[in-house]
C-alpha cells in the first residue's frame, strides 16, 4: 500500500513535469481566412497534438499583434517566439530576401520551388546569424496587375497611384512611371476605398482578401513572380524545447510546407474565379505589356545582381542550372 502510494506520487510528479506547458505567440500579417493563416493554424494544431499539449502556439493573424514589417524584428528580439514574414519585405536588409520578388526570374510554381531550393541555404545562414531559424516557406500565387482600365502597354501606368508592398514593387512603379505608395495587405481595402491607390501588383488571393473587385475592374494575369511567406522561429525559444517537442515542431513545419504549396495552387485558380464572379475581367496581358514588364524584370535582376554580389550570382546560377 505504502509502495503503491509512493508510486502514484512519483507518477503524478512525472506527469506534471511532463505536462509543463510552453506558450508561443506567432504573429502573422494576413487575414485569418487567407490560406497562409489557415495553414499556420493547422501547423499550431499539429504541434499541439504531436507534443501532447506541451507547446501551445497562438497565431495572431491580420497584423493584430505586430505590423508586417515589424514581425521579423519581434521574433529576433524574442517579443514573439515565432512569426510569419513576407521575405521580400526585407530586401533592403539583405538582397537574398528579395530573390523571389524579381519579375520573371521564377514565374511558375515549379520554378518558384526551384528558386526556393537555391535560396534556402542562404536564408538559413542569414536568419541563423540573426538568432532565428527558418521553419518553412510557402509561395503566394503568381503576381498580376490590378488596374482600373485596360492596359495595352506599361506606358498606360504612367502617373497611376500604385500600391507597393515591398521595395521591389515600389521599384516597378518607378520604372513604369507610376506613383508608389507602400501599403501592407491589412490596410489595402481601405486604401482602395479612399482612392489612395488605384493599381497594384499582387496575387488573386490578395485581390479576393481585399475585395479589390469593388474598386478595380481589371486583373492582368502576368504571372510575374511568386513571393514567399516564411515562418521563422527565435532560436533561443526553439532551443529551450525538449527534444521530442523540437521534433514535433520540425515535423509539423515540413507538413505545413507541403500543404501550403498545394493550397497556394488551389487558391490561385479559385481566387481568379472569385474575381471573375464578382465582375472583374481576368486579362491575358498583350504582347506589348508583357514585353514591357519583362524589360522591367531585366533591369531589376541586373540591379539585384549588382547589389547581391558573388553570393547572389551563385544563387541565380544554382537556380538556373
Ligand atoms: N499578397 C501579399 C504579398 C504578395 C501577395 O500575393 C500582398 O499583396 O501584400
Question: Coil, strand, or helix at residue 230?
Answer: strand
198 phi and psi angles, rounded to 5 deg? -135, 10
Q: pLDDT at position 176, please?
A: 98
Q: pLDDT at position 92, please?
A: 97
Q: pLDDT at position 16, please?
A: 46
Q: pLDDT at position 19, please?
A: 56
How far apart are the C-alpha atoms of 106 and 23, rounded to whole Å? 37
Q: How many residues does the chain have?
A: 321
How far apart are the C-alpha atoms of 314 and 102, rounded to whole Å? 16
Residue 108 burial by Cβ neighbours in a 10 Å radius (0-12, 13-18, 19+): exposed
How far apart are the C-alpha atoms of 67 and 55, rounded to whole Å? 24
Q: Which residues contact 274 (CB under 8 A, 6 or more apart)?
A: 204, 208
Q: pLDDT at position 1, please?
A: 44
Q: pLDDT at position 17, please?
A: 47
How far apart are the C-alpha atoms of 157 and 169, rounded to whole Å? 13
- When pLDDT is cut at 50, 70 and 90, the band that residue 243 belongs to is very high
The residue whose CA is least distant from atom 4 of ligand 1 is 202
Q: Rounded to the nearest whole angstrom, what is the distance from the C-alpha of residue 107 to the centroid of ligand 1?
A: 15
Q: pLDDT at position 308, please?
A: 98
Q: Rounded to the nearest whole angstrom, what is the distance from the C-alpha of residue 310 to the centroid of ligand 1?
A: 29
Ramachandran category for residue 199: left, alpha or beta (phi over 0 → left; psi -120 to 50 → alpha): beta
Residue 6's CB is within 10 A of a number of other CB atoms, namely 10
Same CATH fold, 144-224+279-320 and 22-90+107-139+227-272? Answer: yes
Residue 263 grid coordinates: 493550397
Q: Rounded to the nearest whole angstrom, what is the distance from the C-alpha of residue 276 to the centroid of ligand 1?
A: 19
The structural domains of the chain, with segments of one domain joined by +, span: 22-90+107-139+227-272, 144-224+279-320
Domain 22-90+107-139+227-272: give its CATH superfamily: Bacterial extracellular solute-binding protein, family 7 (3.40.190.170)
Contact 306, 244 (CB under 8 A): no
Which atom number of ligand 1 is nearest to the Cα of residue 227? 4
Q: pLDDT at position 15, please?
A: 44
Q: Rounded to the nearest whole angstrom, what is the distance from the C-alpha of residue 86 to the centroid of ligand 1?
A: 8
The residue whose CA is least distant from atom 9 of ligand 1 is 185
- When pLDDT is cut at 50, 70 and 90, the band that residue 297 belongs to is very high
Residue 39 burial by Cβ neighbours in a 10 Å radius (0-12, 13-18, 19+): buried
Q: Measuring from each residue's beta carbon to the nearest atom of ligand 1, which residues come in under 6 Å?
A: 86, 140, 165, 185, 202-203, 205-206, 227
What is the bridge-based pairing of β-strands 199-202 and 161-164? Answer: parallel
From the candidate CATH numbers 3.20.80.10, 3.40.50.300, 3.40.190.170, 3.30.70.930, the one assigned to the domain spanning 144-224+279-320 = 3.40.190.170
Q: pLDDT at position 20, please?
A: 85
Q: What is the pLDDT of residues 76-129, one digit of tens each?
A: 999 999 999 999 999 999 999 999 999 999 999 999 999 999 999 999 999 999
Q: Which residues contact 194 (CB under 8 A, 6 or more apart)?
A: none
221 phi and psi angles, rounded to 5 deg? -80, 70
What is the percentage of the chain residues whose pLDDT exceeds 70? Answer: 94
Contact 184, 29 (CB under 8 A): yes
- Give residue 66's Cα distance to chain centre: 15
The best mutation among 102, 165, 170 to test binding of ligand 1, ranked by most ligand atoms within 8 Å of the C-beta, falls on 165
Q: What is the pLDDT of residues 13-36, one digit of tens each?
A: 444 444 589 999 999 999 999 999
Residue 47 grid coordinates: 504541434
Global pTM exceeds 0.75: yes
Amino acid at each position: 500500500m505504502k509502495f503503491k502510494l509512493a508510486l502514484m506520487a512519483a507518477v503524478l510528479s512525472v506527469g506534471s513535469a511532463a505536462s509543463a506547458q510552453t506558450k508561443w505567440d506567432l504573429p502573422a500579417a494576413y487575414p485569418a481566412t487567407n490560406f497562409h493563416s489557415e495553414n499556420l493554424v493547422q501547423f499550431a494544431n499539429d504541434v499541439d497534438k504531436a507534443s501532447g499539449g506541451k507547446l501551445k502556439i497562438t497565431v495572431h493573424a491580420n497584423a493584430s499583434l505586430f505590423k508586417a514589417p515589424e514581425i521579423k524584428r519581434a521574433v529576433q528580439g524574442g517579443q514573439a517566439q515565432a512569426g510569419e514574414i513576407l521575405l521580400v519585405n526585407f530586401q533592403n536588409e539583405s538582397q537574398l530576401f528579395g530573390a523571389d520578388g524579381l519579375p520573371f526570374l521564377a514565374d511558375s510554381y515549379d520554378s518558384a520551388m526551384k528558386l526556393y531550393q537555391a535560396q534556402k541555404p542562404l536564408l538559413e545562414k542569414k536568419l541563423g546569424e540573426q538568432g532565428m531559424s527558418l521553419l518553412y516557406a510557402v509561395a503566394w500565387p503568381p503576381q498580376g496587375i490590378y488596374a482600373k482600365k485596360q492596359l495595352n502597354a506599361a506606358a498606360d501606368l504612367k502617373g497611376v497611384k500604385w500600391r507597393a508592398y515591398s521595395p521591389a514593387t515600389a521599384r516597378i512603379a518607378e520604372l513604369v512611371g507610376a506613383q508608389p505608395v507602400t501599403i501592407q495587405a491589412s490596410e489595402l481595402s481601405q486604401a482602395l476605398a479612399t482612392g489612395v491607390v488605384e493599381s497594384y501588383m499582387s496575387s488573386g488571393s490578395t485581390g479576393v482578401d481585399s475585395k479589390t473587385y469593388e474598386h478595380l475592374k481589371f486583373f492582368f494575369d502576368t504571372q510575374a513572380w511568386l513571393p514567399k511567406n516564411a515562418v521563422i522561429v527565435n532560436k533561443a525559444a526553439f532551443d529551450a524545447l525538449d527534444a521530442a517537442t523540437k521534433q514535433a515542431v520540425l515535423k509539423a513545419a515540413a507538413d505545413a510546407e507541403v500543404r501550403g504549396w498545394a493550397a497556394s495552387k488551389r487558391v490561385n485558380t479559385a481566387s481568379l474565379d472569385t474575381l471573375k464572379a464578382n465582375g472583374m475581367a481576368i486579362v491575358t496581358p498583350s504582347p506589348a505589356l508583357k514585353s514591357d514588364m519583362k524589360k522591367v524584370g531585366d533591369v531589376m535582376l541586373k540591379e539585384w545582381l549588382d547589389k547581391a554580389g558573388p553570393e547572389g550570382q551563385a544563387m541565380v546560377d544554382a537556380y538556373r542550372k
